[in-house]
Amino acid sequence: MKIEDVKKSIKAWSSVRNSPDKVLTYFKQGSCFKITKAQFDQWNKNSPANLCVYPAIVGTQLKFVLIDSESDKDTANHMDALFVQDFLVGLDIAAEGFIDNAIDGNLTITDALKKMAHWTMFVDSWVANSPHTENGIFQALLVPFSDLKSHFEGTSNPESAVFFGLENGKADLLLWGLKAKQPAGSMMLTAGAGIAVADMTVNIPPYPNNVLGLI
């Protein structure tokens, strides 16, 4: 996508984010999006503090624009660090063991599953009530880059799935590693080890001091 089209799709989300019926329709389109090791490697070159996640409407579909916080300062000249991810209905059955392979990270697996269950059960009422709050439904999300490092730096994890969670009236993103099983006798660094589940998402607004380049 061209930078003009990217900004247009993000603006389209911004224009409907406090319209409950429309937002809920978009949220019901999928359950997660993915982040790959190749994308992490591209962002990691810039030593960013955060990953910027922008909901965007492309045609009639909700998607997520991902870019590291350093490249976000000058997106037009860092399009190689910008990725538009589909909002997936679900994961391939081959990835069904990802929860069994996870380990506790900055939150426990139990707490992560609880947040995901809360999203599933209460997203309708959360969407209905959020437009009446000070900040409304998020315009963007910031994920500490350290969370991604725990998934991709020094591990054999090829990709992670990102699910929504909900706790105390606040939306969250939950990162689950989809580490491929290693063959018997594998000498890979993390063979047999799990990937820590992580969540430390910041909702935007309120707006941080640093300006988000795509808003």
Tell me whether residue 65 is exposed, middle or buried, using C-beta atoms within 10 angstroms of its C-beta: 0 to 12, 13 to 18, 19 or more. Answer: buried
pLDDT per residue as tens digits for the range 100-110 = 878 888 888 99
Q: Specify the pTM.
A: 0.89
Q: Which pLDDT score, from 0 to 100, does residue 169 have?
A: 86
pLDDT above 90 for 32: yes
Q: State mean pLDDT over 37-45.
A: 97
Sign of the four-CA dihedral 6, 24, 59, 33:
positive
Q: Which pLDDT score, from 0 to 100, does residue 209 have?
A: 62
Of 144, 135, 137, the closest CA to residue 52 belongs to 144
Mapping DSSP to helix (H, G, I), strand (E, B) and coil, where does residue 49 land?
A: coil
pLDDT above 50 for 200: yes
pLDDT per residue as tens digits for the range 203-214 = 877 776 666 888
Question: What phi and psi, each to the nearest 5 degrees, are found at residue 27?
Answer: -60, -30
**Domain residue extents for the chain:** 3-204
Contact predicate 103/127, CB 8 Å: no
3-state helix, strand, coil in the chain (%, to 5): 35, 25, 35
DSSP string, 127-154: HHHGGGSSS-S-SEEEEEHHHHHHHHTT
